[in-house]
Amino acid sequence: MRLFVGVDLPTEARHELAARLAQTHLPGSVVAPDNWHLTLRFIGGVDEAALDRLVFELSEAETAGPFPVRFAEMGAFSRPSRASVLWLGVDRGGDELAALAGAVDEAVDRAGFGQEDRPFQPHLTLSRLRPARDVRPVLASGPALPVRWVADSFALFSSHLGPGGATYRVEERFPL
């Protein structure tokens, strides 16, 4: 199983964000709203034996409880003039998401998968661009996206690749 840990959006926030983005032409391979989430930690391939240990460690992660999240402006990795990912950042809840990502990273490490090398940056991937391209015009004309919601859980997701792209399934949910 290919796994990652993330925070998914509640249905209302998903619908509100989709409605606000409906008038915006996003370049590249656009992520379907059903797949929107904030990744806390990518894990990769996991066999059944390691899955039980991982679920146990994630259930024991020390978390601070539910917290509000608000989306902010769009941005791009690695840079707007040559972007491979168009994303939506957060301007409320970022510190809490970083703390949660740290707790998840520690749990994943205890489960035997090591620690994350890259610093955590909370974002929602909107589209992937292959080849990379200039998205400065999209960023300059992007709509206001101050969608708010309360993060009250995180989840272990499996990723399934298919002809229409990846689909994600919640394998286990953990309350905050």
Q: Which among 15, 25, 123, 160 is annotated as catalytic?
A: 123
Is 123 catalytic? The answer is yes
Q: Which among 15, 25, 37, 160 is annotated as catalytic?
A: 37
Residues near 135 by beta carbon (within 8 Å), at least 6 away in sequence = 27, 76, 80, 83, 86, 129
Residues paired with residue 8 on neighbouring β-strands, in sequence order: 37
Q: How far apart are CA 107 and CA 114, in angstroms?
A: 9
Is 37 catalytic? The answer is yes
The residues annotated as belonging to the active site are 37, 123
